Structure formats: C-alpha cells, structure tokens
Chains A and B, each alone.
Chain A
Amino acid sequence: MRRLSAVVVGASAGGFRALSQLLSSLSENFPVPVVIVQHLSPESMNLSVAQLDRICRLEVKECDDKEPLLPGKVYIAPPNYHLLLEPDHTIGLSVDPKVNYSRPSIDVMFETAAEAYGDELAAVVLTGANNDGTMGCLKIKNFGGLVIVQDPATAEAETMPKSVIDNVGADYIIPLNEIGKLLNKLAEENPNG
C-alpha cells in the first residue's frame, strides 16, 4: 500500500459486536472514509446504524446513492442493496442479484473499491460464517492494497477471516482489539500530499 486513502470493512455473523469495538477505537481525526458492508436482516439494520453512531467518534451513517466519500466518515451499506464504489469516489447502489447469497455483498464492495482506490486501500475482514469477501481481498491484493484480517481465534465465527487467510493471504492477522490501533497508525504514517 502506497498510502491510505480509504478503508473498507466486511463483517457477517457476529459482526455487530466486532464493528462496535473496531469503530469505537478509531481516532477522532481519522483522515479517510471507512466503508462497511455488514450482512444483516433488513429489519435490524436501522437500529444498529444509530447504535454504532453513538459509540464511534466519527459520524456513522447508512449511505445514500451517489454520495461522495468524505474523510473521517463511516458509511454503512443499506439492507437489500449492493454498495459499489465509483471511480470518482462516490457511492453507487444497485439491486443486482445476490452474490454469495448476500445483498449487500462484501465481494462486490471490495472489488469495486480495489478498482477505485488501487494501492491506496486497506481492507478489514471481520467475523463471519461464509466466504464473502475472499474474492474481493484477492482483487485488492492484486491492486497493491493491504489486507487485514481479524485473528480467527478472536472471531465469533471464524470461517470468513480464515477463508481469506487460506485463499489469499493477509498482511496482518491480529486480534480484534488491535485493528483500530493499526488503522490509526497507518493513517498517521500517510506521506504528506
């Protein structure tokens, strides 16, 4: 990774708790956008966005179509829509068929993020009981991005992080409580300009 311009996060089963911990540890002046796909049932979604917003020092919101990605904001994919990142760093939504039985799908978001941000992207894969995110991480690595995976031993469901480790390989395999710190550090080390 050349510099950090965006962070993308994928989470599934057990993801709400993991996201709470991750987001609460991001520093107040975190300088890049964070985009999250969390698999969830449509009904539980609104509640969790509000809760995450309360515990995070950054603004957390469900994202809108065509919204530009701004530094220090956290965007969560709406239930029942795929979230895609456009080459001009705005958000696109679609109701295309499910991918990996999921809409939103982590792979769809990660793959489009790889093309939009190239080697200025860090991906985080958290707990989950499926393989969504693995193909996306492969593409992110091919574009020179960084892949951070929650240590499966600390994950409520280990399948998703483990699949990335086994099939792609990760730059960091670290416990949940260290991921936020690492992201803060990577952001601080950004070369100027």
Chain B
Amino acid sequence: MSTNKGEIDNEYLELELLMEGIYRKYGFDFRDYSSVHLKRRLDHRLAISGLKNFTQILHRIIYDEEFFKSILLDLSINVTEMFRDPPFYKEVRKEIVPYLHTYPFVKIWHAGCSAGQEVYSTAILLEEEGLLPRMQIYATDFNEMILDKAKNGIYPVENIKSYTENYQKAGGKASFADYYTAQYESVIIKQRLKDNILFSFHNLVTDGVFGEMNVIFCRNVLIYFNKDLQNKVLRLFCDSLVPGGFLCLGTKETLKFSDVEDYFEIVSPREKIYRKKR
C-alpha cells in the first residue's frame, strides 16, 4: 500500500468541511484549531468507528447528536495533573502572591481547567499564603463532562504519589495529605478548597470577556489553536484583565510575536508569566 501527498490534501479538505458542518450544526467552532492535531484525533475515531472517511463522519454527526458528543470528547484533550511544572508554581508564589496581598478582593480565572487539578493546585497555594478567603476563582472549560469531574474533585488514588512529589517541588508548605480525604480507590479534595471556586461552561473561541480579572491562568490550551485563533483568544484575555493583572501561559506558549505582545511586560520568561501594563 502506498499513499501520496495528494490524498492527504484531499483528506484535509474533507476535514475542513467536517469542521464547518460541526460549527453550523452545533455551534462548536474548531475551524481554527491546529489541523494536524484535529486530523490525528479524528483518524483515531475513524479507525474505531468503522466509517471510511471524514465525509461519512460529517454525515453521521448531522443526524446523530450522540455521535457528535463522542467526537467532541475526542477533540478535547483533558490531560492534566496537580502542580504540573512545579517551578511554575514557585514563580507564582514569588511574583504574583505579593501583588495579591495588596488587594482586599481578588478575581482569578482558570480558562481550560480540565478536570480541576490545576485550579485546586492554585487554591492550595493561595490557602498556604493566607489568601484564599479573599479570592473568587472562576474555572471554565467547554467540555461539560470534564467540568462535572472538576466540580467533584475526585481523583484516582494512584495519581497521588506523583501529585505529592509535584507539590513538594512546587514549594508546598504543609503536607499534601492535608488537602484530600482518601476513600477506597479515590481521593476527594477537601470542601474548604472548593468554596471559592465557581465552575462554569465557557468556550474560548465563541464566548466573550470575563471582566476585571486580576490573574488569568490558561495553560496548555493555546497550543491546540492556530496562530489566528491564538491571537483572538489572547486579545480576549487582555481585555479581561485589570491593568497590572497577570497572565500565565503553559511553558511552551508565548506572547512573543502575538498581537498583544506590546500590552504586556514579561515577568518570568521561563515560566511564561506576563503582566498587563498599567
């Protein structure tokens, strides 16, 4: 069997039409996601669905909402962990926490929060810094199923070892076990960490500004977007931040060469922490 580039070009054409169909029918807009990423996810779906090509997927999603939902899950990659990139959290303590102490009330937005590990990591950090009672944290994602998981804050016990290591490397001041209750095969995040967090649906591509935020975390979401969409979402973040507010991206995401570069100063080039100019 041999394949050639021309066939691939045709497949990408079908893929574009599929994304157009999903948008027109269901309002979810993947048209500006990274195309190789979309193709890999959908190639996988093709292989297990018994359908022959993307055009057949398009036909099926138009008439079968349940099938569309499974595609939606394919396209939302929820891989996450607690205190992912420990040096990042150290930097948050050093650079952002002192600023938060100067405010009586603080608004924080975790965009693309997945199953909640990232936002609970922040809640733990803020509690250790004595800040949690003053915080209103918004945690959003466009995947309803993963949002439910995030609200519950129940995680498999086998992840705890690596989470604990991350916590310690991230400069944790207490014992990680203080923050969860173990129950059979699972651990449950303590209720007091959840009190100031509001989980809600928000699609970064199609929904609007979240006003007057002091800090926005959006890590490992932008890499799935193409350059145009990255710019659009970065503008949304810029408009949602108060002057002097912070934007935290994933370690391989950057404001460099973006449309909003000039509106920010770089706080940590390595950990990708930026501050909106006043």
Identify the A interface with B (CB < 8 A): 64-66, 78, 81, 84-87, 92-97, 108, 111-112, 115-116, 118-119, 142-144
> Once the chains bind, are A96 and B34 in contact (CB under 8 Å)?
no
- CB of B37 within 8 Å of the partner chain: yes
Bound-state Cα–Cα, A17 to B8, Å: 36
Q: How far, in Å, is B229 (CB) from chain A's closest CB?
A: 11
Range for the number of chain B residues in contact with chain A? 20 to 34
Q: How far, in Å, is A28 (CB) from chain B's closest CB?
A: 28
A115: chain B residues within 8 A (beta carbon) = 5, 8, 36, 39
- CB of B254 within 8 Å of the partner chain: yes
> Once the chains bind, are B252 and A78 in contact (CB under 8 Å)?
yes
> Once the chains bind, are B36 and A85 in contact (CB under 8 Å)?
yes
- CB of B47 within 8 Å of the partner chain: no
B39: chain A residues within 8 A (beta carbon) = 115
> A111 — nearest CB in chain B belongs to which residue?
B40
Supply 6 A–B pairs (Cβ within 8 Å), ascending by A: A65-B252, A87-B8, A93-B223, A94-B224, A96-B77, A118-B5
> Once the chains bind, are B2 and A87 in contact (CB under 8 Å)?
no
> B6 — nearest CB in chain A belongs to which residue?
A118
> Once the chains bind, are B37 and A92 in contact (CB under 8 Å)?
yes
- CB of B12 within 8 Å of the partner chain: yes
A84: chain B residues within 8 A (beta carbon) = 34, 36-37, 40
Task: From known contacts A64-B254, A78-B252, A86-B34, infer whether A94 and B77 are also in contact, taking CB-CB under 8 Å.
Answer: yes
Bound-state Cα–Cα, A92 to B37, Å: 8
Task: From known contacts A86-B35, A94-B224, infer whether A142 and B3 are also in contact, taking CB-CB under 8 Å.
Answer: yes
- CB of B203 within 8 Å of the partner chain: no
B79: chain A residues within 8 A (beta carbon) = 95-97
Bound-state Cα–Cα, A85 to B3, Å: 18
Q: Looking at A78, A86, A93, A143, which has the most chain B CB atoms within 10 Å of its CB?
A: A93
Bound-state Cα–Cα, A74 to B17, Å: 35
Bound-state Cα–Cα, A108 to B36, Å: 11
